[in-house]
Structure 1
Amino acid sequence: MDRKKLEEALEKLHPQSFTWALRCCRGDRESAADVLQNTYLKILEGKARYQGQSGLKTWLFSIIRFTAIDHYRVQSRRSPHALEAEEQLLQISVPGTTSMEPSDQQLLLIRALNQLSVQQQQVLHLVFYQECTIEEAAEVMRISLGTARTHYERGKRHLRERLTAEIQHKKR
């Protein structure tokens, strides 16, 4: 793919890419912007090359994920508490919402999602918000299809259980 077509494709995928970077950065907008900028630099400088073995979006999301991992490795070396602080962020937005004040349902969903493993969160985000197939999610995360399916099914089950328990608790 020539550079101009690649730049056009990256521009078209930018909103989805930022949403994915935000998820990979646990809701930290500043880190997500840094990760996305570093991802674009890797691609445009030729450090990461699209070989056509998977979809462009799948390839791009994989680079974003690994750039985010590298970003937090560097941060954790600088500050031993950086990862702990990131884990405690509760300001992860639900894609498709614009309200500054999240509704009770949105808060319930955010809390339930934050209780899932990182892998479960990422698979569910890719499938439901980025409209990837489970196969594409597996490619992005560089895990086997079976492992992706397991994270997907367990994540949905845990989410359903937590939301049901919260709703039952609120009815009392």
Structure 2
Amino acid sequence: MNEVKRENGAVAPNDGALQDMLATCHQAAYGWAVTCCRNDRAQAEETLQTAYWKILTGRARYDGRSAFRTWLFSVIRRTAADHWRKWLASRLRALPIEAASSVADPNALPPDQAASARQTGALLREALNGISGRQRQILHLVFYEEMTVHEAAVAMGISIGAASRHYERGKAALRRRLSDLGVIL
């Protein structure tokens, strides 16, 4: 990715280059936001919009210490955590909030394959929701966003050693959960 940096390594919020970098990463950023929001697509959209707002207004500044995408993912993760805390506080005040569910669009497949895809997707979501949040996040970054464990650690704000442990334990836990659900690996 072509990154335009200032003398201090930062990318200015009003730079067209910053907007181009955000546009280039948008699809992956949305996928990461969905993961950080436990598959709640509406919450993920709000989280991503807030993260973009923070970046474009200069409240979150890229200083060039890590890859742009890694930094972006850490901004999204922190924003999702902020949204979660606000949601939890509102829930504790007994405000009714309905959980959104997400289902992949099976329309592109023949009906028999679509049914199988829905069932497989539901089992995978159930298995992923059954493992710890950190394990789920690291598996998403490594497998869906093609980050290294090191890049994922930076994005998650944890040490490389902790990321490696979450990664290995997450794979083992996911394997066990899928087996418990009757998925043959």
TM-score clears 0.5: yes
Corresponding position of 1:43: 55
Corresponding position of 1:31: 43
Secondary structure, aligned partner of 1:51? coil
Q: How much has 1:85 moved relative to structure 2?
A: 6.5
* Structure number having the greater helix percentage: 1
CA pair 162-79 structure 1, distance change in 2 beyond 3 A: closer
Q: How much has 1:14 moved relative to structure 2?
A: 0.7
Q: Which AA in structure 2 matches 1:55?
A: A
Q: Answer yes or no: is the 8 Å Cα contact 2:41–2:102 preserved in 1.
A: no
Q: Which AA in structure 2 matches 1:113?
A: L
Q: Does residue 159 of structure 1 match 2:171? A: no
Q: Does residue 59 of structure 1 match 2:59? A: no
Q: Answer yes or no: is the 8 Å Cα contact 1:62–1:140 preserved in 2.
A: yes
> Residues 68-87 of structure 1 correspond to what in structure 2 (within 5 A)?
68-80=80-92
Corresponding position of 1:12: 24
User: What is the CA–CA distance in structure 1 between the aligned matches of 2:25 and 2:48, rounded to whole Å?
Assistant: 12
Q: How much has 1:26 moved relative to structure 2?
A: 1.1
* Runs of 5+ consecutive residues of structure 1 not aligned to the other structure: none
Q: How much has 1:136 moved relative to structure 2?
A: 0.7
Identity within the alignment, %: 43
CA pair 31-56 structure 1, distance change in 2 beyond 3 A: same
Q: Deviations over 1:31-69 (max 9, x none)?
A: 111111111111111111111110000000000000011
User: What is the CA–CA distance in structure 2 between the aligned matches of 1:148 and 1:98, rounded to whole Å?
Assistant: 32
Q: Deviations over 1:109-138 (max 9, x none)?
A: 111111000000000000000111000110
Q: Answer yes or no: is the 8 Å Cα contact 1:113–1:159 preserved in 2.
A: yes
Secondary structure, aligned partner of 1:37? helix
User: What is the CA–CA distance in structure 1 between the aligned matches of 2:126 and 2:48, rounded to whole Å?
Assistant: 25
Q: Which AA in structure 2 matches 1:98?
A: D
* Runs of 5+ consecutive residues of structure 2 not aligned to the other structure: 1-10, 108-114
CA RMSD, 1 decimal: 2.3
* Number of residue pairs the alignment of both structures matches: 163
TM-score (norm. length: structure 2): 0.79
Q: How much has 1:92 moved relative to structure 2?
A: 4.8
